Structure 1
């Protein structure tokens, strides 16, 4: 005779088994969690009297357990697919990165040209500064030469003034001598007026005038002496000479 199972007892046993069964955990990325491994060990060492028969598991738990491996396989496949595509995506640089690299190369070339221009300008500044220093030194030497020339010119001016003063003194002495000679020769005043009285510039003309007046004086004296000689020593007449 077959015994019929009590539905209430079966339901109560099923409920107790569900309460005793631990909650299922899904693996992430295709790898089992540490709790799953621990649960697996506990199930492995669990004695036979505590195990739940496969026919006593509820349909919902069986469906969840059937879906868990498929989800794990899908996650593992997706992770592996992503891992395979990652090097290819990293190997192919985007267009923005190429533009950045080209802009950096252009900036580097511009920077290099600017550095070259800077060095060239510094060299030009050094050369111009050296030229300016040379020009300043030459200007200083020229200023010294100008100062020395000014000193020499002042000395020459003073010497010229001294020579002019000496020449004026000499001309004045000559004029005084000429006047004294004319006065000693009793030359009339009209003759004295012929002597220029305007200073040293006409000293030569004064000397020439005095010399001319002296010659005239000598000529007059010669004529006077000849008359005096003829009066003192008269010439004998021709008749007297023939008679004697």
Structure 2
């Protein structure tokens, strides 16, 4: 095995010492890293209703025909209610056998056909009326209502500004406590895609004369900011 000469060893050590400052220069400058948050609450302006028709019959054909006939009436009622065709989308069509609930070999007792649509309602005030019309027309499955904000970009931008201000406030507290002076931000990162928190309240009674309460939605923004420390 070859041994390094004393001169070679000394040169290698010098090269290592010269390389260390270069690596240190690559490291990010010290700073104060904090999270900032902001929320904006707003009343939703759009609703989505999941509703449709379900029928049981002894034969698959009878179940499908009954459901198709009833669904035709439901779609016509939506049209009469002023809902645009582009705001109605089929979300489920199914035809499933039903089995006897007793021990022994499986026996098909009939079939259940379903046709469910997703209806976008662009006028919150019209939701209760459309629900009533759906049920009168023959919709016997109302799976629920969801509310949303159709254009939240402006509110989200306001929340982003407030989230950075919240991060600055926190960083200044830490800087004063440590006897430091806060500098400019070195980096700003949005922690995740801005989210919509669950509605604070929503109620629906799917009997005739349905009552709905859209409540509020909360738009949430969270950022991570690395603030520089000014030289003393």
For Structure 1 versus Structure 2, the TM-score category normalised by the shorter chain is: under 0.3
| Structure with the larger RCO, 1 or 2 (CA within 8 Å, 6+ apart) | 2
Q: TM-score, normalised on structure 1?
A: 0.20
Determine which structure has the larger strand proportion and give its number: 2
**Higher Cα radius of gyration:** 1
Q: TM-score, normalised on structure 2?
A: 0.21
